[in-house]
Amino acid sequence: MITINEHYHKLQASYLFSDIAKKVSRYQKSNPDKEIIKLGIGDVTRPLPPACIAAFHQGVAEMADESTFRGYGPEQGYEFLRALIAENDFRSRGAAIEDDEIFISDGAKCDTGNFQELFSTDIRVAIPDPVYPVYLDTNVMAGRTGAFVNGRFDGITYLESTRENQFIPALPARAVDLIYLCFPNNPTGSTIGREELKAWVDYARNHKALILFDAAYESFIRDTRLPKSIFEIEGAEEVAVEFRSFSKSGGFTGTRCAYTVISKKCRVYDPNGRAHSLRSLWNRRHCTKFNGVSYPVQKAAAALYSPEGKAQSRELVDYYLRNAKLIRSAMSTLGYDCVGGDNAPYIWIDGRADSWKFFDLLLEKAGVVCTPGAGFGRCGEGYIRLSAFNSFDKVSEAMKRIKESI
Ligand code: PLP
């Protein structure tokens, strides 16, 4: 008899986006002439930068010619891309990351989801609330949690992000072994400063814990005082892994390319307390289960590091940041407390009401779709998330409608 992994039954069915879709379709049916503006999901709308498109075409042309054709590439990614990343994203900012500490992949979603499988099931896991759901659900699937009671899984230490702590969770009162952090944050748009991040690094060093640092939105950081990488913090290379993605910095959500960074200095332990290289473990896992990102896609990603590519990527992110600024200022003018939107594409808005009620209000009065904060965890109740990923015209129209109708 084929039996299932019963932990899958503990997963909470995510009705969030299907409930949103149902409400939107009901509204559209009763208002057929109204154009709905979607500021709910975190998917980009602008095309790939010209430098990427040219490199992508060139990669395809090489694949079409027998003399330049390539089959399987290195599982960890081509050296040309790893070297560009290590130099531009880390060494140039004072973080001593070597080329072979970069692992190219097809997404930060898979990497942040898969990483937990390197660890035993009895480790103590700390996960933010509200949260990008992948971190939580993959630990549930792996059997690291108990039952779901009152909106929370037994066995997980929830790191609460609230107005009181400026949406930067406090260090856990109970010792933990694996810590998920995400800055700039999805869904709150909050950022973390050097001192606060150092406190987490110190905590991990003191507890022999590991931080999984999701920096998928790093390219939105414009405040030069903020760290872009956890490896800018002294000692982090021994206790942290960083996840990055070209999804938002290069418009690659449909093209797929990301990377994970693990220093050779990072150590994890067996039950006898013997230290092992985390990089070697991930290398083993990556080479066993993954066969590399396609050559043309890696060529396109590498083009983001050319002078034109850098300028175009910045312009792309600036476009969304302009939307974010407009959303934040419009909602603030209406008297709502907002976080994010200055170094992040998300604006987290205190709706002063039930998340879903505020969702209904925006949809019914303004024809604007947001994401109810309650869908990201218990601490999201009362909030909504607006995303800057849409055209400037649509964002302007959305804010005009909200101002006129609320
Ligand atoms: N991490 C966070 C916090 C995200 O919000 C997202 C996408 O929305 C991802 C990772 C996924 O990135 P990728 O497109 O590289 O899989």
Is the CB of 340 within 6 Å of ligand 1? no
Is the CB of 42 within 6 Å of ligand 1? yes
- Is residue 324 within 8 A of residue 345, CB to CB? The reply is yes
Tell me the pLDDT of the chain (406 aa) as tens digits: 999 999 999 998 776 888 899 999 999 999 999 999 999 989 999 999 999 999 999 999 999 999 999 999 999 999 999 999 999 999 999 999 999 999 999 999 999 999 999 999 999 999 999 999 999 999 999 999 999 998 899 999 999 999 999 999 999 999 999 999 999 999 999 999 999 999 999 999 999 999 999 999 999 999 999 999 999 999 999 999 999 999 999 999 999 999 999 999 999 999 999 999 999 999 999 999 999 999 999 999 999 999 999 999 999 999 999 999 999 999 999 999 999 999 999 999 999 889 999 999 999 999 999 999 999 999 999 999 999 999 999 999 999 999 999 8
Q: In sequence order, which residues have a C-beta less than 8 Å from that of residue 178 and are 6 or more positions away?
A: 116, 119, 123, 124, 125, 126, 209, 210, 212
- Cα angle value 198/161/259 (rounded, 5°): 60
Residue nearest to atom 1 of ligand 1 (CA): 216
CA distance 383 to 380: 6
Is the CB of 260 within 6 Å of ligand 1? no
Write down the pTM of the prediction. 0.97
Is the CB of 108 within 6 Å of ligand 1? yes
Cα 261 to Cα 32, 110, 264, 282: the distances in Å are: 48, 14, 10, 10
Q: In sequence order, which residues have a C-beta less than 8 Å from that of residue 208 and are 6 or more positions away?
A: 177, 269
Question: So what's the pLDDT on residue 12?
Answer: 83
* Helix or strand holding residue 395 (H, E): helix 392-405
Residue nearest to atom 11 of ligand 1 (CA): 109
Is the CB of 44 within 6 Å of ligand 1? no
Give the bridge partners for 157, in sequence order.
126
Question: So what's the pLDDT on residue 341?
Answer: 97
Question: So what's the pLDDT on residue 353?
Answer: 87
Is the CB of 385 within 6 Å of ligand 1? no
Question: So what's the pLDDT on residue 54?
Answer: 98
Count CB neighbours of 297 within 10 A.
22
3-state secondary structure at position 103 = strand
CA distance 406 to 356: 16
Question: So what's the pLDDT on residue 13?
Answer: 74
Question: So what's the pLDDT on residue 406?
Answer: 86
What is the atom index within ligand 1 of the atom nearest the CA of 257? 15
Is the CB of 253 within 6 Å of ligand 1? yes
Residue nearest to atom 3 of ligand 1 (CA): 186
Question: So what's the pLDDT on residue 43?
Answer: 93
Tell me, in angstroms, the distance from the centre of ligand 1 to residue 246's CA.
9
CA distance 37 to 383: 19
SS (H, E, C) 317-374: HHHHHHHHHHHHHHHHHCCCCEEECCCCCEEEEECCCCHHHHHHHHHHHHCEECEEHH
Question: So what's the pLDDT on residue 260?
Answer: 98
Is the CB of 242 within 6 Å of ligand 1? no
CA distance 347 to 386: 5
For a mutational test of ligand 1's pocket, the pick from 112, 217, 246, 256, i.e. the residue with the most ligand atoms closer than 8 A to its C-beta, is: 112
Question: So what's the pLDDT on residue 293?
Answer: 98
Is the CB of 245 within 6 Å of ligand 1? yes
Is the CB of 258 within 6 Å of ligand 1? yes
What is the atom index within ligand 1 of the atom nearest the CA of 247? 14
For residue 43 the two structure tokens come to: 């998917």
